[in-house]
Amino acid sequence: MAATSFGPTPTIPAIIKFSSEYDEYCGDESRSRGTAESLSFPRTEDEVRAIVRSLSSARTPITVQGARTGLAAGAVPQGGHVLNLSHMNRPLGLREEDGRFYLRVQPGLVLSELRKHLAAKAFPTEGWDEASLTAAQRLAEAPEQMFPTDPTETSACLGGMAACNASGARSFRYGAMRGHVTALRLVLANGDVVALRRDEVRARGRHLMLKTEGGSTIEADLPTYQMPHAKNASGYFVEDDMDALDLIIGSDGTLGIITELELALMPAPAVVWAASCFFATEDQAVEATIAARADLKHAAALEYFDPAALDVLRRARAQGSAFAALPLLPERFGCCLYVELQAPVEDEAMADLERLGAIVRAAGGSERDSWVARTAVDRETLRFFRHAVPESVNMLIDERRREEPSITKLGSDMSVPDDRLRDVISLYRSTLAKEGLESAAWGHIGNNHLHVNVLPRNAEEYARGKALFARWAKDVTAMGGAVSAEHGVGKLKRDFLTTMYGSEHVREMARLKLAFDPACQLGRGNLFDAALLDEVRREGAAVPEGADAADAGPDAADAGPDASGAGPDAAAVGADASGAGLDAAAVGPDATPVSLAAAPADALAKAMNTGEVA
Q: What percent of the chain has pLDDT over 70?
A: 86
Q: 451-503: per-residue pLDDT in tens?
A: 999 999 999 999 999 999 999 999 999 999 999 999 999 999 999 999 999 99
Q: What percent of the chain has pLDDT over 90?
A: 76
Between 79-88, 162-171, 393-402, the lowest mean confidence (pLDDT) is in: 393-402
- The backbone torsions φ and ψ at residue 119, rounded to the nearest 5 degrees and listed phi first, read -65, -35
Burial of 462 (0-12, 13-18, 19+ CB in 10 A): buried
What's the pLDDT at 460?
96
What's the pLDDT at 11?
61
pLDDT at 358 over 90: yes
Q: How far is residue 103's CA from residue 92's CA, in Å, rounded to a whole number?
A: 8
What's the pLDDT at 554?
35
- The backbone torsions φ and ψ at residue 11, rounded to the nearest 5 degrees and listed phi first, read -55, 135
Burial of 34 (0-12, 13-18, 19+ CB in 10 A): buried
Q: 302-334: per-residue pLDDT in tens?
A: 999 999 999 999 988 888 767 888 888 999 999
Quote the mean pLDDT of the chain.
87
Q: How far is residue 46's CA from residue 91's CA, in Å, rounded to a whole number?
A: 16
Question: How far is CA 593 from each of CA 53, 250, 575, 585, rounded to the nearest angstrom?
Answer: 17, 35, 7, 9
Higher-pLDDT residue of 430 and 554 is: 430
pTM: 0.85
What's the pLDDT at 10?
53
pLDDT at 257 over 60: yes
Q: How many residues does the structure list for the chain?
A: 614
What's the pLDDT at 4?
42
pLDDT bracket for residue 414 (50, 70, 90): very high
CB count in 10 Å sphere of residue 57? 21
pLDDT at 7 over 60: no
Q: 191-224: per-residue pLDDT in tens?
A: 999 999 999 999 999 999 999 999 999 999 999 9
pLDDT at 427 over 80: yes
